[in-house]
């Protein structure tokens, strides 16, 4: 059973619909005990880091997630979920969960590419340059694009955890992989067939790259 | 780099796909769930649904359509039309839409933008703007005026001012529709699109007037649009999304080509 953590940060319906499509059983929960019983954990979310962290602490989900991580359970972070596995976020100056050292930063105010001023949020389809192979990204065409919508991005201090980068005025870390955690800034549940493939790969993953 | 988005727009009336010209004379042309699936398979980057159902008692049909679409396609989609308050927004988001588009309701009550952004995040709130070209005046310095109620009612609001204001209020994106160009298939209103897009920091989707792939190339370059809305071009199968994307790729406009 895959547990989708519901911490009142945005809409998790689309993650659930995507799992249904690939025939994966899931439970949507904000109960720390249910995370213990799950084989895999998906940590989605859109919204602001500060509010999300407050809710996670109230429900003791921050500690539950840390425990799941140390127990070796496969964890998938999506969007805000990816940002708040870092130690700190510039958004609301929030103390975060800290599964990965480093912080979540905001895109620079004046973001340009070839003389054009770029819009913020970074919204739409963009590609990922993968640094190495990973089971969760098996069978993914390197030219594939994924759906992004964000104004902040994770900036890990250890470059070894950067699995993929994306260019948008700057080159930022769009996919993190560290032990049994894989976390992506884009939305696999909204990224068409390659996105569904990633979810399917994750659900079959045992947690070691 | 970020790709330009191609977004088919589906007008839905009482659960059926429909298409009108200059907001009049609608004809039903199919099933919106099947059409959405076809566009998803063909490489649409996003889908927009507008509920143009006149009577409010039939509005719940749209929620059912949204639910079925959410089970069928795995790209973002937005729903607009008849969204009056937070509760309307909550309903379509809970049914599975990523974004909600507000238009007339935001003109009458701009707080809906702020409240929506607070409740669901800015990325959920699209400001739909219907715009008509008018004489430049002190009241309408840009020469473009916001119209509401399906293009029937002039508001006295300057389109450029409103776009900036909506950004301040928390809108995450603007869907900019030229009433003059809508349904004509003669091309997008490039001046209007560039004017708005260059003066806001949020993405702008150009809408109204697409008839040929060249029109999309124009609006995504000269028009500075981040995305282009299409309807008749693909509804009548004159073009496919894949074909349009091949054309844009040849013109060196970056679009998503693998799906």
| CATH number of residue B204's parent domain | 3.20.20.70
Subunit contact A193:B226, Cβ cutoff 8 A: no
Name the residue facing A141 among B45, B76, B258 (closest C-beta): B258
Give the start-to-end residue ranges of the domains of chain A.
Answer: 2-204
The chain-wide mean pLDDT, for chain A, equals: 94
Q: What's the first-to-final CA gap in chain A, in angstroms?
A: 20
Q: Shortest Cα distance from B26 to chain A (angstroms)?
A: 31
Subunit contact B45:A119, Cβ cutoff 8 A: no
Interface test with B, best of A11, A106, A110, A189 (most B CBs within 10 A): A11
pLDDT at B44 over 90: yes
Instruction: Say how far residue B249 (Cα) sits from the centre of its chain.
Output: 23
Q: For chain B, what is the domain count?
A: 1
Mean pLDDT, range B197-219, rounded to an integer: 97
Return the pLDDT at B20: 65
Instruction: pLDDT band for A96, please (50, 70, 90 cuts).
Output: very high
B216 Cβ partners below 8 Å, 6+ apart? Answer: B6, B210, B228, B230, B244, B247, B248
pTM metric for this prediction:
0.95
The answer to whether residue B256 sits within a structural domain is: no
Q: Shortest Cα distance from A107 to chain B (angstroms)?
A: 13
Q: From A11, A120, A127, select the one nearest B173 (Cα to Cα).
A: A120
Identify whether the C-beta of residue B249 lies closer than 8 Å to the C-beta of residue B257.
Answer: yes
Instruction: Give tens-digit pLDDT for B110-142.
Output: 999 999 998 888 899 999 999 999 999 999 999
Return the pLDDT at B25: 63
Identify whether the C-beta of residue A103 lies closer than 8 Å to the C-beta of residue A90.
Answer: yes
Q: Shortest Cα distance from A97 to chain B (angstroms)?
A: 21
The chain-wide mean pLDDT, for chain B, equals: 93
Kind of pairing, strands A26-29 and A75-78? unpaired
**Residues paired with residue B133 on neighbouring β-strands, in sequence order:** B144
Subunit contact B96:A13, Cβ cutoff 8 A: yes
Mean pLDDT, range A83-96, rounded to an integer: 95
pLDDT at B72 over 60: yes
Return the pLDDT at B202: 95
pLDDT at A75 over 60: yes
Instruction: State how far the Cα of A1 lies from the Cα of A38, in Å rounded to an integer.
Output: 5
pLDDT at A153 over 90: yes
pLDDT at B21 over 60: no
Subunit contact A14:B120, Cβ cutoff 8 A: no
The answer to whether residue B219 sits within a structural domain is: yes
pLDDT at B241 over 90: yes
Return the pLDDT at B29: 73
Instruction: Give tens-digit pLDDT for A159-185.
Output: 999 999 999 999 999 999 999 999 999
Name the residue facing B45 among A20, A21, A125 (closest C-beta): A125
Asked if A121 is an interface residue toward chain B (Cβ–Cβ < 8 A), one would say yes
Instruction: Give tens-digit pLDDT for A3-39.
Output: 999 987 777 889 999 999 999 999 999 999 999 999 9
Catalytic residue, chosen from B45, B51, B130, B182, is B130
Return the pLDDT at A103: 97
Mean pLDDT, range A83-92, rounded to an integer: 95
pLDDT at B22 over 60: no
Return the pLDDT at A46: 82
Domain range holding B38? 5-250
| H helix or E strand, kind and range, residue A184 | strand A181-184
Interface test with B, best of A119, A139, A151 (most B CBs within 10 A): A119
**Burial code of A80-103, b = ≥16 C-beta within 10 A, e = fewer?**
bbbbbbbbbbebeebebbebbebb
Residues of chain B in Cβ contact (below 8 Å) with chain A:
1-5, 40, 45, 70-71, 74-76, 93-96, 98, 120-124, 172-173, 201-203, 226-227, 256-259
Mean pLDDT, range A46-60, rounded to an integer: 90
Identify whether the C-beta of residue A63 lies closer than 8 Å to the C-beta of residue A29.
Answer: no
Return the pLDDT at B98: 92
Measured between beta carbons, which residues in chain A are less than 8 angstroms from residue B259?
192-194
pLDDT at B18 over 80: yes
Share of chain B above pLDDT 90, in %: 81
Q: Shortest Cα distance from A106 to chain B (angstroms)?
A: 15
pLDDT at A2 over 80: yes
Subunit contact A125:B2, Cβ cutoff 8 A: yes
The CATH class given to the A2-204 domain equals alpha beta
pLDDT at A116 over 90: no
Subunit contact A123:B40, Cβ cutoff 8 A: no
Interface test with B, best of A123, A139, A153, A195 (most B CBs within 10 A): A123
Subunit contact B74:A196, Cβ cutoff 8 A: yes
Instruction: pLDDT band for B60, please (50, 70, 90 cuts).
Output: confident
Return the pLDDT at B121: 85
Instruction: pLDDT band for A114, please (50, 70, 90 cuts).
Output: confident
Name the residue facing B1 among A120, A149, A167 (closest C-beta): A167
pLDDT at B59 over 80: no
Burial (CB count within 10 angstroms: exposed 0-12, middle 13-18, buried 19+), residue A130 = middle
Mean pLDDT, range B216-231, rounded to an integer: 97
**Residues of A involved in catalysis:** 79, 187, 189
**Burial code of A1-33, b = ≥16 C-beta within 10 A, e = fewer?**
ebbbbbbebbbbbbbbbbbebeebebeebbbbe
Return the pLDDT at A7: 85
pLDDT at B24 over 80: no
B27-41, B151-165, B240-254 — which is least confidently predicted?
B27-41
Instruction: Give tens-digit pLDDT for A123-145.
Output: 999 999 999 999 999 999 999 99
Tell me if residue B243 falls in helix, strand or coil.
Answer: helix
């Amino acid at each position: 059973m895959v547990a989708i953590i519901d911490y009142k940060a945005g809409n998790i319906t689309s993650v659930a619909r995507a799992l249904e499509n690939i025939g994966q059983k899931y439970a949507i929960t904000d109960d720390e005990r249910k995370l213990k019983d799950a084989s895999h954990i998906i940590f989605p979310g859109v919204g602001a880091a500060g509010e999300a962290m407050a809710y996670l602490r109230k429900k003791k989900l921050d500690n539950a997630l840390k425990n799941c991580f140390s127990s070796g359970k496969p964890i998938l972070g999506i969007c805000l979920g990816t940002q708040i596995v870092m130690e700190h976020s510039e958004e609301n100056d929030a103390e975060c969960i800290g599964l990965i050292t480093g912080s979540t930063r905001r895109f620079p105010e004046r973001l340009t590419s070839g003389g054009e001023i770029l819009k913020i949020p970074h919204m739409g389809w963009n590609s990922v340059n993968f640094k190495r192979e990973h089971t969760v990204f098996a069978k993914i065409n390197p030219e594939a694009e994924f759906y992004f919508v964000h104004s902040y991005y994770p900036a890990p201090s250890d470059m070894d955890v950067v699995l993929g980068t994306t260019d948008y005025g700057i080159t930022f870390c769009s996919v993190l992989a560290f032990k049994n955690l894989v976390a992506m800034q884009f939305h696999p549940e909204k990224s068409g067939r390659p996105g569904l493939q990633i979810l399917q790969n994750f659900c079959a993953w045992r947690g070691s790259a | 780099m970020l790709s330009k988005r191609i977004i088919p727009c589906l007008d839905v009336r009482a659960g059926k796909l429909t298409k009108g010209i200059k907001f009049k004379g609608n004809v039903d042309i199919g099933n919106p769930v099947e059409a959405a699936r076809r566009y998803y398979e063909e490489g649409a980057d996003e889908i927009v649904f507008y509920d143009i159902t006149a009577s409010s008692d039939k509005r719940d049909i749209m929620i059912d359509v949204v639910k079925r679409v959410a089970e069928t396609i795995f790209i973002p989609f937005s729903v607009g039309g008849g969204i009056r308050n937070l509760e309307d927004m909550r309903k379509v988001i809970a049914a599975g839409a990523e974004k909600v588009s507000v238009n007339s309701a935001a003109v009458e009550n701009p707080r809906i933008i702020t409240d929506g952004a607070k409740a669901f995040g800015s990325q959920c709130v699209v400001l739909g703007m219907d715009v008509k070209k008018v004489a430049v005046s002190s009241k309408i310095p840009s020469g473009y005026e916001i119209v509401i109620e399906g293009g029937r009612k002039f508001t006295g609001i300057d389109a450029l001012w409103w776009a900036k204001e909506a950004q301040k209020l928390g809108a995450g994106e603007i869907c900019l529709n030229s009433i003059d160009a809508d349904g004509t298939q003669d091309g997008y209103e490039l001046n209007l699109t560039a004017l708005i897009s260059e003066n806001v920091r949020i993405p702008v989707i150009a809408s109204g007037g697409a008839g040929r792939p060249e029109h999309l190339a124009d609006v995504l370059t000269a028009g500075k649009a981040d995305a282009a809305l299409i309807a008749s071009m693909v509804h009548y199968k004159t073009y496919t999304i894949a074909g349009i994307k091949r054309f844009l790729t040849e013109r060196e406009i970056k679009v998503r080509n693998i799906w």
